[in-house]
Amino acid sequence: MDAKRTGIAVVTGAGSGIGRAVAVELLRAGWSVALAGRRVETLEETAALVPEGAALAVRTDVSRPEDVTALFTATVERFGRVDLLFNNAGTFGPGGVPVEELSYDAWRHVVDTNLNGAFLCAQAAYRRMKEQQPQGGRIINNGSISAHTPRPHSVAYTATKHALTGLTKSLSLDGRPYGIAVGQIDIGNAATDMTARMQTGALQANGSVAPEPVMDVADVARTVRHMAELPLEANVQFATVLATAMPYVGRG
């Protein structure tokens, strides 16, 4: 088997941020990519960044089982199989809300998107990868450094990212007999719209507010591509990519 591989990828949350950067990186490397997200217009903007790329835009709410089924059906109808799922769609939820003030609806929205959506997409990918010939494929879950260490007032986001780690481990174990490799990338302070506030001031564990360094989202995309292009006999189980000087390692 070649040292690097390309094929058919599904990228959720592909209309912006990390999802867009990863989708563009894969398209430029020769992958065919199904772009999933809530807004078709932003998905088409992503596809237009690589005019020669093989992209398919599919409006998808990952928290809805019927949308996820339609996404993978459309992908197989267009491209024939699924070799990679980048399980990226997610939301932080309302920022800066103390746990005692967080509404159940807000909690449920984060759980439905970050955890239930990731499960539904992984389940759909797993089914395709198990049934197709040649069998197998790869799933990469987008965790977060919050899968290890929370920020203040982030209970819903942090809980779902911890849960994603369990999802990753269980899928990795269950996928072994079928050539399905599953890993997770934990990202800290990639420069996207979601992290724009980090550069002007973010609440710290000691109660202070301080600006934080960020890194180019392209560095995340290159890391995902490296994980994706390994032969299925090799797997990056967990990778952490973060802005070098952000207050994460040690005591800040």
Catalytic residue positions? Answer: 157
Please give the Cα distance from 56 to 44 (Å, whole number). Answer: 9
Tokens of 78: 């267009």
Contacts of 109 (CB under 8 A, 6+ apart): 91, 93
- CA distances in angstroms from 241 to 8, 145, 207, 219, 220, listed in the order given: 24, 9, 25, 8, 7
Q: How many residues comprise the chain?
A: 252
Half-sphere exposure of 108 (CA within 13 A, CB side): 3
